[in-house]
Structure 1
Amino acid sequence: MSIKLINIGFGNVVSANRIIAIVSPESAPIKRVIQEARDRSMLIDATYGRRTRAVIISDSDHVILSAVQPETVGQRLTNDIGDEN
């Protein structure tokens, strides 16, 4: 099994195999998920000070913030999976 990496902006990449969900940060439940991850030291902020546009939840309970739109990250993930077939 090869490791597939997805660009989440500003030269940051995450393992495609570890992604559970890519969501928008606008709703109150997602804001709570972000705060709980921050409290547990499981939050990774990859926004470089920009506005958070996507929240990536991994299977290791890490929550990753990205400044790239969720649709863009999802499209990169879909394109990457399609390339291996």
Structure 2
Amino acid sequence: MEVKLLNIGFGNTVLANRVVAIVSPASAPMKRLKEDAKLANKLVDATMGRRTRSIIITDSDHVILSGVQAETIAQRLLTDNNPKDVNLLKAEKE
């Protein structure tokens, strides 16, 4: 099994194959998810004191806060894992 790291900003990385979802923190369900993870001691704050711009959910139910936009992290994940998917993502935007 090959280990691939995903840069989530400010020198922080996560294992790319453990990421289940990358979401925006704006909605009420995501705010509840963040609070529930904090109470369960499964919240990792990787914002480095900046505003939370994305929430990363892992297969171990850990919730990681990042100061980088969800679209940027998703782009990095696609670029690192399968370059062909990047072209599909660009085509959807056009």
Query: TM-score band, normalised by the shorter chain?
Result: over 0.9
Displacement of 1:2: 0.4
Report deviation, 1:55.
0.0
Structure holding more helix per residue: 2
Q: CA deviation at 1:82?
A: 1.6
AA aligned opposite 1:59: D
Runs of 4+ in 1 over 4 A off after TM superposition: none
- Cα distance in 2 for partners of 1:16, 1:82 equals 12
Q: What stretches of structure 2 of length at least 5 have no aligned partner?
A: 84-94
Number of residue pairs matched? 83
The C-alpha deviation readout for 1:3-62, integer Å capped at 9, x for no partner, is 010000010000000000000000000000000000000000000110000000000000
Taking the aligned partners of 1:18 and 1:82, their CA distance within structure 2 comes to: 16
Kindly provide the amino acid, as one letter, of the partner of residue 35 in structure 1. E
Distance in 1, Cα, partners of 2:42 & 2:82: 30
CA distance in 2, matches of 1:11, 1:66: 11
Match for residue 55 of structure 1? 55
Aligned to 2:89: none
Alignment partner of 1:4 is 2:4: yes
Residue 59 of structure 2 is aligned to residue 67 of structure 1: no
State the AA in 1 paired with 2:33: V
Q: Secondary structure of the equivalent of 1:2?
A: coil
Q: TM-score, normalised by structure 1?
A: 0.96
Corresponding residue number in structure 2 for 1:14: 14
Quote the residue 2:81 is aligned against. 81
Structure 2 CA distance, aligned partners of 1:11 and 1:50?
Answer: 14
Give me the identity figure in percent.
61
